[in-house]
Structure 1
Amino acid sequence: MIETFNTGETQESLRQEYNPNGSVLRKAQLRLLDMAIYLQETAKKIGVPCRIDGGNVLGAMRHGGFIPWDDDIDMVVSYKDFKRFCDYLKAHPHPQYVLQDNDTDPGFYKEWACLRDLKSENRSHEANDSVDRRMHEAQKFRGLHVDIFPYEGNMIPWLQRFAAKLSVNVNVKFAGRHPRLAQTSYKLLHNIVFPMFRLVGRLFGNPDLYMHSYGAWFYEQNPRRCMTPHKDIVFEGYTFEGPADPDELCRIAYGNYMDLPPRDKRDRHKVDVVFK
């Protein structure tokens, strides 16, 4: 029996419309999949629990892999393992992929890291004077990427949101425009302000409330029980680590996640992918 979604579409009709075999999007998805497999294997090698996150969990549950119109993979590790994982990736470089953070790319001011593909390039088709384009072009590495986010418990939601606003302002106001001021601001937040927020969280936060770490721009609040321990999940035919309760995680973030959004709400990133 062919599964039909609330919109009347099927998995096959979605594939043919958005990411058919041989399309640029499908080629990008398969490159990202290879990058995610590399990250998962590396994490297992050094004993770091690392799982797929966000829309990829949704995609695994609803489509068995990528959301058909999506060109994104997010992975998360515990904050306590984040630096060790990133340091290992930098110390043992892959021939085609590079770990991007503020150490390897002075135009990158985010509180998470990316694994970047060196044999592709994301080219923005935002307006030349747009903030997103300026932020993108300030970075040294611009290939396809897998985001690697730290997450932690003992979070204070309003403080996490405030931290995100501070981080966003550095990227929006200074990236690509005032590099010295951007770097100084980033270092101040990264080394002094956010560690202070983290200390406040450990004193007054909820140990069973998990969120992306201070400075990340994502605000889902998840109970510990749906986050850990990790549980295997199948994504594009490969077994990855996933959340302990992917159904609850998706319901918190997306509501009735098995329904497809209307066509005009299907978010597609405003970039063109060029393969080298």
Structure 2
Amino acid sequence: MKETFNTGETQESLRQEYNPDGSVLRQAQLRLLDMAIYLQETAKKIGVPCRLDGGNVLGAMRHGGFIPWDDDIDMVVDYKDFKRLCDYLKAHPHPQFVLQDNDTDPGFYKEWACLRDLKSENRSHDNQQSADRRMHEAQKFRGLHVDIFPYEGNMIPWLQRLAAKLSVNVNTKLAGRYPQLAQMGYKFLHVIVFPVFRFIGKLFGNPDLYMHSYGAWFYEQNPRRCMIPHKDIVFEGHTFEGPADADELCRIAYGNYMDLPPRDKRDRHKIDVVFK
């Protein structure tokens, strides 16, 4: 693991600046780690492959765990397993964590699910009238969360971009402002539009092209060979399932991923975490 980065910073200096022991961010990261461990153990119990994704794979490769300024965890499952995992989590509730989707939270209109912590709260400090804040405050569950994304092959990239734009519009223009219209829009997309897109993909899509499922707000195009089968990856001292080729996945998404971005490009979420 690289100890001195292109910016001259080290793992230790990053840790001291962004997430030292005892800081709110480090407390949040450790709570998220507990949630991810629980989620993976539950998925394994029912035979669902569930792996780290996105910035967490990058963090594992570059930092051995969280990107120092990061405050989320993303996990992905195959689309065919997504509903089964969500249904199991809802039918076997944890005393502290809850599965958040449109069934458990009528203010949640996304095409993925979240595992939410009930003993914390994310408080946005975006402008009161901003779409991001309205989306956040429309939700019943607002604690720390692990995103659970479905992904699949046979994807058609331009259709996925269209699907994402439609979903984004439901969330940014309607959530927190017109709840009935938001629910109607979500159901129309979820039940009718995206299944049609998926059917078109099965007819004309590339079976070796994997992307987040229709309606997710991400567009990375990954070859099947770097996605499956899952291989172990170490994250914060714990072994998780990771992609088949973590190096290739990171290069597709981030380019020369072992270099740090400039300070002004380090994405820090506009969220304050309050522990209950």
TM tier, smaller = over 0.9
Aligned to 1:39: 39
Q: Please give the alpha-carbon distance, in whole angstroms, between the structure 2 residues aligned to 1:189 and 1:86.
A: 19
**What is the deviation of 1:212?**
0.1
Aligned to 1:9: 9
TM-score (norm 2): 0.99
Q: Please give the alpha-carbon distance, in whole angstroms, between the structure 1 residues aligned to 2:117 and 2:19.
A: 20
Equivalent residue pairs, number: 276
- Tell me which stretches of 4 or more aligned residues in structure 1 moved more than 3 Å: none
Aligned to 1:269: 269
Counterpart of 1:8 in structure 2: which amino acid?
Answer: G
Query: What secondary structure is seen at the aligned counterpart in 2 of 1:250?
Result: helix
TM-score (norm 1): 0.99
In structure 2, the gaps of 5 or more residues are none
- Give the CA RMSD over aligned residues: 0.9
The 5 A counterparts of 1:142-153 are: 142-153=142-153
Kindly tell me: are residues 192 and 2 of structure 1, through their superposed partners in 2, closer, same or farther at Cα, counting changes over 3 Å? closer
Q: Please give the alpha-carbon distance, in whole angstroms, between the structure 2 residues aligned to 1:16 and 1:179.
A: 43
Aligned to 1:204: 204
The 5 A counterparts of 1:229-268 are: 229-268=229-268
**What is the deviation of 1:2?**
8.2
Aligned to 1:156: 156
**What is the deviation of 1:3?**
1.9
Aligned to 2:63: 63
Asked whether 1:127 is paired with 2:127, we answer yes
Kindly tell me: are residues 4 and 196 of structure 1, through their superposed partners in 2, closer, same or farther at Cα, counting changes over 3 Å? same
Kindly tell me: are residues 178 and 28 of structure 1, through their superposed partners in 2, closer, same or farther at Cα, counting changes over 3 Å? same
In structure 1, the gaps of 5 or more residues are none
**What is the deviation of 1:44?**
0.3
Counterpart of 1:118 in structure 2: which amino acid?
Answer: L
The 5 A counterparts of 1:16-31 are: 16-31=16-31
Aligned to 2:140: 140
Query: What secondary structure is seen at the aligned counterpart in 1 of 2:60?
Result: helix
* Cα deviation code 1:107-159 (max 9, x no counterpart): 00000000000000000000001110000000000000000000000000000
Aligned to 1:217: 217
* Cα deviation code 1:177-199 (max 9, x no counterpart): 00011001100100010000000
Identity of aligned residues (%): 89
Counterpart of 2:240 in structure 1: which amino acid?
Answer: F
Query: What secondary structure is seen at the aligned counterpart in 1 of 2:158?
Result: helix
8 A Cα contact 2:2 2:258, kept in partner: no
